[in-house]
Amino acid sequence: MEEKSLDHKEILSLLPHRYPFLFLDRVIYWSKDPPVIEAIKCFTMNEAFFQGHFPGEPVVPGVILVEALAQLGMIFLKKLHPEFQERLFFLAGVEKARFRRPVFPGEVARLKLQGYKLRKNIVQTSGKVLVDEELAAEAQIIAAIK
């Protein structure tokens, strides 16, 4: 079994996203067999979206949690399939999204994707966002590979 982590430089080499729209700090684990990847995102009060979501009661927007899972999915597929290194991934769908608890400034989210299905240029994977081992969000992410 192959196990690895990725630092911020490697993440930047695999993703086209940059601040303020990069939502992964570090990949802490990935494996080809079984296919799984885990990353962390430390949400600080300095995140731009906290200014308006919501003043006086800042909460990470659910769409940001889904986007973080999608970004992790792009890294996941590029590590599992090196032939996709130079390809772009576009979000094509989100299914079965559920938000179980809010994520607040100062919390560390652990994102995890397990397994995937790849057909032609469409990929699907399932992921979870945990805070202190408590489920915060989950969704199936579908992407088109260009």
Average pLDDT, the chain: 96
CA atoms within 13 A on the CB side of 51: 4
Instruction: Please give the pLDDT value at position 2.
Output: 52
Query: Cα dihedral angle (100, 11, 70, 86), rounded to 10 degrees?
Result: -170
pTM: 0.96
Residue 50 · residue 88 · CB < 8 Å: no
What's the mean pLDDT in 129-139?
A: 98
Domain 4-145 has CATH 3.10.129.10: yes
Give the pLDDT of residue 1: 44
Q: Is 81 annotated in the active site?
A: no
Model pLDDT, residue 59:
98
Could you give the CA distance from residue 5 to residue 28 in angstroms, rounded to a whole number? 5
**Where on the phi/psi map is residue 34: left (φ > 0), alpha (ψ -120 to 50), or beta?**
beta
Q: Identify the pLDDT of residue 49.
A: 96
Instruction: Tell whether the model's pLDDT for residue 42 goes beyond 70.
Output: yes
Give the model confidence (pLDDT) of 64-111 as tens digits. Answer: 999 999 999 999 999 999 999 999 999 999 999 999 999 999 999 999
- Tell me if 84 sits within 8 A of 123, measured CB to CB: no
Q: Per-residue pLDDT tens for 2-24?
A: 558 999 999 999 999 999 999 99
Distance CA 109, CA 40 (A): 6
Does 58 have pLDDT greater than 60?
Answer: yes
Percent of the chain topping pLDDT 90:
97
Give residue limits of the domains in the chain.
4-145
Q: From the candidates 8, 17, 53, 81, which is the catalytic residue?
A: 53
